[in-house]
Structure 1
Amino acid sequence: MTQPNRTSDPVAIIGGGLAGAKTAEHLREQGFTGAITLIAAERVAPYERPPLSKEFLAGTKALPDFTVHDEAWYRDNDIDLRLGVRAESLDLAGRTVALDTGGSVPFGSLVLATGSPPPPPPIPVSDAAGVHCLRTVDDARALIGVLGEGSRLAVIGGGWIGLEVAAGARGRGADVTVVEAADQPLRGPLGPEIGAAFARLHREHGVDLRLGRAVESITVDDGRAGGLQLDDGQTVVADAVLVAVGARPEISLAESAGLALAGGGVATDSGLRTSADGVFAVGDIAAAEHPVLGTRVRTEHWANALNQPAVVAANILGGDAEYDRMPYFFTDQYDLGMEYRGHSDGYSRVVTRGDVDGLEFLAFWLDDSGIVLAGMNVNIWDAGDEIAALVEARRPVDAAALTDPRVPLADLIS
C-alpha cells in the first residue's frame, strides 16, 4: 500500500466532523497547495461531538465553542466546504466521488472520515414523537427541549452516551431511568469491576438504574413515546426516550468500493492507508495497525479524530508517518472526571489504587503476564503521563506494586 507523492492533485474528504475538518487543516498547515473539497452531510460547519452529551447538554457550552472552524476559515484557506451534501458512491478507478446533489468531485487522494452514527435500534421503534438518539447538534437540541425540572427520561443503554446524558439530564432536574442489558454499565469497555463504580455513582445521584434487563418495546400513547416495556413485565413511564445502544461505523462507501475491512471498520496500515492506492481512513472507521500495541485497533474516540489527521496529511504529501498514540478517551459525569489510556482487549484482571468508593482512584488492566494493557485515572490529574508510559512499556509489572500508593508509578516504568 505505497502512497505516491500527490502534492498538488486534488484531495476529497468525506465527513463533516472533527476528523474531516482537522485533515483539511493539517493539509494546509503542512504545505499542500492543491484543491481540497470537504463533503459534509450536516448543514453546519464541522464540530466536535463529545460536548453534545457533556457541556452542550449541561448548558455550559454553545455550538461556536466547539465548532472546529467557522465557515470563513474554510473560505480563507481555499477549502471547498460542501454543507448538506452526501457522498453517494466512489469510483476509485476514475478517481471521483458521486454526490447526492448531482455531479461529482475529483480526487488524487481521498480521505474517508465518515464517523459512526447510532445503529438502528434493536427493538421496534415507531416514528412516534419523543424517541431520541444523539448524534448531531440538532439531536441534542431536541433532547434538551424535553428536559426540565420534573420531566421523565428513559435511556436505553448504559454506555458512555447513555450515562453522560443521564448525568446531564439529572443536572437539568429530570427524573432518569437507565435500562442496560448487561449486569453492569460500561461492562464492555471497562469490565464489571469498574462498571460497578459507575453504577453506584449514578444511583447516588438519583438515577433509577435497571441492570440485566432488556427492553421489549417502546410504549406509545397518541403517537408519542410514553415509556418502556421491559422483559420482566415492568414498565418505565417517561416523557421521552433516548436510544443509546452504541454506534456503528459508517463504512458503506468503503464496502461498496471494495476496500478491505477489519474490526468493524476500514482496514488501514499504521499510516492510515487503506487497501486502495491514495485512499485513507481516519477517525472512528479506521481499523489501524498499531506499531506499539502490535495489533489492529479501531476506537470511536475523540482523540483519534483529533490526532490522526496530521498523519494522513503527512502521508498524502509523500511522507511515511505512523499513528502510534495510545488510544485515549475521557468522560465527565457529575463530579467524576476520568481519563483512559490504552487498549484493554484480552485483559485477565483489573487492579486499582486509591479510593474506589470515594471515586478517586487509578485502575489498571493487566494480561496474564502482568503487562499493563490500559490504565485509567479517576479524579486524579497528575498520573496521566505515567499511566501512558506504563502502557507503552509493554513489560510485566508487579500487580501488588501497582495497587500500593506508597510505590511511585515512575518506579514501575523503567
Structure 2
Amino acid sequence: MNARPNAVVIVGAGQAGLQVAASLRDEGYDGEIRLIGDEAALPYQRPPLSKSFLTGGVSAHDLSLEESRWFDEARVERLAGERVSAIDRKRQRVSLMSGRVVSYEHLVLATGSRNRTLPFISQAFDGVLSLRSIHDAQRLKARLELARRVVVIGAGFLGLEVASIAAERGCDVHVVESVDRAMKRAISAEMSAAFAAHHRAAGVRFSFDARVQRISSLDGGAYQVELADGACLEADLVLVAAGVVPNSELAAACGLSVFNGIIVDEKLRTSDPAISAIGDCAAFPYAFDGGDLLRLESVQNAVDQARHVARGLLGQAEPYDQTPVFWSDQGGARLQIAGVARRLDSSVVRGDPESGAFTVFRFRHRQLTGVESCNRPAEHMAARRLLQRRISPSREQAADPSFDLKLLLTLAEPA
C-alpha cells in the first residue's frame, strides 16, 4: 500500500469514522475521502443518549459532531443513509445497497457494534425498547416521561445510567441481571458493590443471577416480565440493555480475519494491508497486556484509534499503545476507569466506599493494570498518566490517601 493513498473510504459515520476523516485533513491529507453511514442524521455523539439527552440537558442538535457545511469545507463526501452490501478486496471497491460502487485505495472499517438481541423478547411491543441510536433515545425519552414502573434488563453502564434517571424521575425501577453483580465485565467487585448500594439508596431494586423467561403484554399498556425463578415484574416501560456485539459480518464475508471483532495488528491493519478497522468493531493487540487481543466499547478508544490510523496513512507507523479510558454518570456518582484489568487481578482500595468518593487500584502481581475512581477526578487523571508510562505504585502507596501519586511521575522525569 502506498504511504499516502489517493482515495480513502470510511465505512461507518459514527465518532470513529468521522474522526478519521477529520484527522486526515488536519494532518494535511489532500486526497479523496468518502464517509459512508447508514443513518441520515449528521454524525452525532452517542454517550449522552443515555445521560444528558434523556434528562433534557442537551438537545438532538447539541449532539451533532459537525455541521453540514464542515463536510463541504473539509472536502469529505458524506454518503448518508447508505449501507454497504459487499467489499471486493481484489478490485478495492465497496458496493452499496443503492447500487452505487465506490473505489478505494485504503478502506477503514468503523462499523461499530449493535445491541445484543435476546430470543425471548419481542421488541414489537411499544414499551419494550433498546437504546443505540438517536431515534431510540427519542422514543425512550418520550416513554420515560409517562412511565411509573420501569424494568431494565442488564446492569451494565447503559442500563444503570438509564435506571438512575428513571429513579430520579420517581419511577419504581427494577434491574434484572444474569450474573451475580453490577457491571461485572468492566469493574472490580469493590466498585460494583459500591455502585449497587448507591442505586439501592435511590430506590432501585436488583435481581442478580436472574434470567428473563418472557415478556407479555397486559391490558392498559403494561407488560409482565417473567423470570426463570417464577417471579413476575410488572412495568409500563422495559429497557433491554444486554450488551452489544461487533458489526464484523462485512469483514468476515470478504475473507478478513474475525474473532469477537475484526482482528487487526498493532498498527490497526486487518489481514488485508489495504484495510484498517477501528473502534467497537476491532479486536486489537493490547500493548499493556502482552499483545492479547482486546475489543473495547469506548469513545476515547475509538477516537484515539481513528487518529492513529490517519497518522499511519500519512507515513507515521508507530504501534498503537494508548491507555483505554471509560466513564459513566449514574445518579450523581461519576465512575472513571483507566486501563483494563482482568477479572482475577487483585484490588487495593483507597478511601472509604461509603463516602461516595474512593478509588480502586487493580494489580497483577506488582504491575498496575487498571484504576477505577468514583468521584475522584484528580486520582483518575494521575492514574491515566501512570498507566501510560508503565509506572506502578506499590500496594501500600496505592492504599495510602496521603501519598501523592503525582510524585511517582515527577520522580520518573529525566534529570
* TM-score interval for Structure 1 and Structure 2 normalised by the shorter chain: over 0.9
Corresponding residue to 1:46 among 33, 43, 48: 43
Report the more deviating stretch, 145-154 or 28-37.
145-154
Partners of 1:217 and 1:150 lie apart in 2 by: 20
Q: Which residue of 1 aligns with 2:394?
A: 398
Q: Indicate the residue corresponding to 1:254 in structure 2.
A: 251
CA contact (8 A) 1:58 1:172 kept: no
Deviates more, 1:155-164 or 1:393-402: 393-402
What is the match of residue 345 of structure 2?
Answer: 348
Report what 2:331 is aligned to. Answer: 334
Verify the 8 A CA contact 2:187 2:372 in the aligned structure 1: no
Match of 1:310 among 271, 289, 307: 307
Query: Which segment drifts farther, 170-179 or 197-206?
Result: 170-179
**Equivalent residue of 2:163, what SS?**
helix
- The correspondence for 1:165, drawn from 156, 162, 165, is 162
- 2:290 alignment counterpart: 294
1:385 to 2:381 alignment? yes
- Give the counterpart letter for 2:207 in structure 1: R
Q: Per-residue displacement from partner, 1:91-126 (whole Å, max 9, x unpaired)?
A: 011111110111211111000000011022253425
Counterpart selection for 2:93 from 80, 88, 96:
96
Do structure 1's residue 375 and structure 2's residue 397 form an aligned pair?
A: no
Moved more, 272-281 or 164-173: 164-173
- % identical equivalent positions: 34
Indicate the SS of the match to 1:323: coil
1:63 to 29, 50, 60: 60
Map of 1:183 onto structure 2: 180
Residue 269 (str. 1) matches residue 272 (str. 2) = no
Stretch moving more, 282-291 or 119-128: 119-128
Change (3 A) 1:398 1:160: same
Question: Structure 2 CA distance, aligned partners of 1:181 and 1:233?
Answer: 15
Shift of 1:89: 0.8
Structure 2: gaps (5+ residues) = none
Deviation at 1:174, TM superposition (A): 2.5
Distance 1:326 1:141, change over 3 A: same
Q: Match for 2:105: what amino acid?
A: G
User: Residue 194 of structure 1 corresponds to which residue in structure 2?
Assistant: 191
Distance in 2 (CA, whole Å) between partners of 1:372 and 1:390 is 9
User: 5+ unaligned residues in a row in structure 1: which ranges?
Assistant: none
Give 1:393 deviation, angstroms.
4.8
- Is 1:86–1:99's contact at 8 Å kept on the other side of the alignment? yes
Determine the C-alpha separation between the residues in 1 that align with 2:236 and 2:219: 13
Match of 1:11 among 3, 8, 12: 8
Cα shift at 1:149: 6.1
Q: Counterpart in 1 of 2:135? A: 138
The amino acid that maps onto 1:279 is I
Shift in CA distance, 217/225, structure 1 to aligned 2, threshold 3 Å: farther
Alignment partner, residue 404 of structure 2: 408
Do the aligned residues in 2 keep the contact of 1:149 with 1:173 (CA within 8 Å)?
Answer: no
| More deviation, 148-157/219-228 | 219-228
Residue pair 2:152, 2:159 contacting (<8 A) in 1 also = yes
After the TM superposition, which of the residue ranges 291-300 and 72-81 deviates more from structure 2?
291-300
Normalised TM-score (structure 2): 0.94
The answer to whether the Cα contact below 8 Å between 1:175 and 1:207 also exists between their aligned partners in 2 is yes
Partner SS, residue 152 of structure 2: strand
RMSD: 1.8
Aligned 8 A contact 1:225 1:241 in 2: no
Alignment: residue pair count: 409
Distance (Å, rounded) in 2 between the aligned partners of 1:164 and 1:144:
13
2 CA distance for matches of 1:306 and 1:167? Answer: 27
The SS at the match of 1:261 is coil
**Cα distance, 1:172 vs. partner?**
3.1
Distance in 2 between residues matched to 1:88 and 1:222, nearest whole Å: 42
Q: What letter corresponds to residue 371 of structure 1 in structure 2?
A: Q
SS at match of 1:237: strand
CA contact (8 A) 1:178 1:210 kept: yes
Summarize deviations over 1:205-261 as a string: whole Å, max 9, x none.
Answer: 111222221111112236966131012211111111111000111000111111112
Cα gap change, 1:147/1:341 in structure 2, threshold over 3 Å: closer, same or farther? same
Query: Could you say which residue in structure 2 is the equivalent of 1:73?
Result: 70
Please say if residues 391 and 408 of structure 2, whose CA atoms lie closer than 8 Å, have aligned partners that are also in contact.
no
- SS of residue in 2 equivalent to 1:36: strand
Q: Quick one: which amino acid aligns to residue 56 of structure 2?
A: G
Whether the aligned pair in 1 keeps the contact of 2:123 and 2:129 (CA below 8 Å) is no
TM-score (norm 1): 0.94
Q: Equivalent residue of 2:301, what SS? A: helix
| Equivalent residues of 2:156, 2:243 under 8 A apart | yes
The alignment partner of 1:198 has SS state of helix
Q: Which moved more, 1:246-255 or 1:302-311?
A: 302-311
Structure 2 residue matching 1:117: 3-state secondary structure? strand
Residue in 2 aligned with 1:114? Answer: 111
For the residues of structure 2 that align with 1:393 and 1:25, how far apart are their CA atoms?
28
User: CA 1:320/1:114 → structure 2, altered by over 3 Å: closer, same or farther?
Assistant: same
Letter in 2 for 1:120: T
Matched, 1:33 2:30: yes
CA contact (8 A) 1:202 1:209 kept: no
What one-letter code is carried by the residue in structure 1 that aligns with 2:215? I
Q: Which range moved further: 117-126 or 62-71?
A: 117-126
DSSP 3-state at the match of 1:114? coil
Does residue 207 (structure 1) correspond to residue 223 (structure 2)? The answer is no
Whether contact under 8 Å (2:147, 2:237) holds in the other structure is no
SS in 1 for 2:143: coil
Kindly provide the CA deviation profile for residues 43-96 of structure 1, in whole angstroms up to 9, marking residues without a partner as x.
Answer: 101111100001111110112222111222112222111111101110011111
Instruction: Quote the offset at 1:408 in angstroms.
Output: 2.1
